[in-house]
Structure 1
Amino acid sequence: MASTSVSRTVPASPDRVWNLIGGFDALPDWLPCIPASTPLEGGRVRRLTNPDGEVIIERLLDFNEAERHYSYAILQAPFPVEGYVSTLRVHAVPGRDDIAEVQWSGRFAPDNATDDEVVALFTGIYRDGLDALHQALSA
């Protein structure tokens, strides 16, 4: 199993950040590489489409509103991994109510790729996503 994690401080309160990213179907609201998301199975599954029209299907595994995090698994995607599970989490920054730390982490087994290749792939996706979140909250 390979894994990666990226954290980024963003210019908004933890509640404001969670209100933007905490909905399982909310990726298009802040992540430019996912322009479309369709909720399925009562919102427990999301069907995402990337700009190339490729489909990614993910299932919500765990959701905690009070602690501001959710975990999900990829069921179908054009990525060279299997057993992918990821968590998106919003942390308060002690002594500050105007910023939050967002952590996006995942673990997965490479499939026809090396550990280094898939770690680099998802580290880039998480980093670019959190940069986009920072920009969305700065606007």
Structure 2
Amino acid sequence: MAATSATIDIPRSPDAVWRLIGGFDSLPDWLPYIPHSELSEGGRVRRLTNQDGGVIVERLMAFDHGRRSYSYAIEQAPFPVTDYLSTLTVHEVPGSPEASRVEWSGTFTPAGATDEEAEALFHTIYADGLDALSGTLAA
């Protein structure tokens, strides 16, 4: 199994960041390359459409509002992995109540790619996504 993660510090309170990203259907609000999200199964499944019209279907596996975290699995996507599980978490920064550390991490089994290729792919997705989050919050 392979894994990767990315983090970013953002000069906004954890509650403010969580209000933006804490909804399972909120990716279009802060992630430009996912302009459309549609929930089904009572909000447990999201069908994402990327800028190119590609579809990604993800299932919410865990949600903890108090810890500002949720985890999801990919059910359908054009990625060379299986057994994908990702977690998005907003942490407090000790001593900085108006700052947040956002972590996006994932584990997966490469399928048709090496561990290094799959890790590089998702690290880029996570890092670019967190940069987009920072830009959205700065606007």
TM-score bracket, normalised by the shorter chain, equals over 0.9
Shift of 1:95: 1.2
Instruction: Name the CA distance, whole Å, in 1 between partners of 2:94 and 2:68.
Output: 16
Q: CA deviation at 1:56?
A: 0.2
| TM-score in terms of structure 1 length | 0.99
Note if 1:67 corresponds to 2:67: yes
The DSSP-based 3-state class of the residue aligned with 2:135 is helix
> 2 CA distance for matches of 1:11 and 1:21?
15
The equivalent residue for 2:53 is: 53
1:9 is aligned to 2:9: yes
User: What is the root-mean-square deviation in Å for CA atoms of aligned residues?
Assistant: 0.5
Superposed, which structure 2 residues align to 1:28-47 within 5 Å?
28-47=28-47
Partners of 1:92 and 1:58 lie apart in 2 by 27
In the alignment, structure 2 segments of 5+ residues that lack a partner are none
**1:68-127 residue CA offsets vs partner (Å, 9 max, x unmatched):** 000000000000000000000000011112110000000000011110110000000000
* Cα distance between partner residues in 1 of 2:101 and 2:137: 13
User: Structure 1 regions of 5+ residues with no counterpart?
Assistant: none
Runs of 4 or more, structure 1, over 4 Å off, are none
SS at match of 2:4: strand
CA distance in 2, matches of 1:37, 1:6: 23
| AA in 2 matched with 1:49 | T
Paired residues in the alignment total 139
TM, length-normalised to structure 2: 0.99
Distance 1:83 1:11 in 2: 34
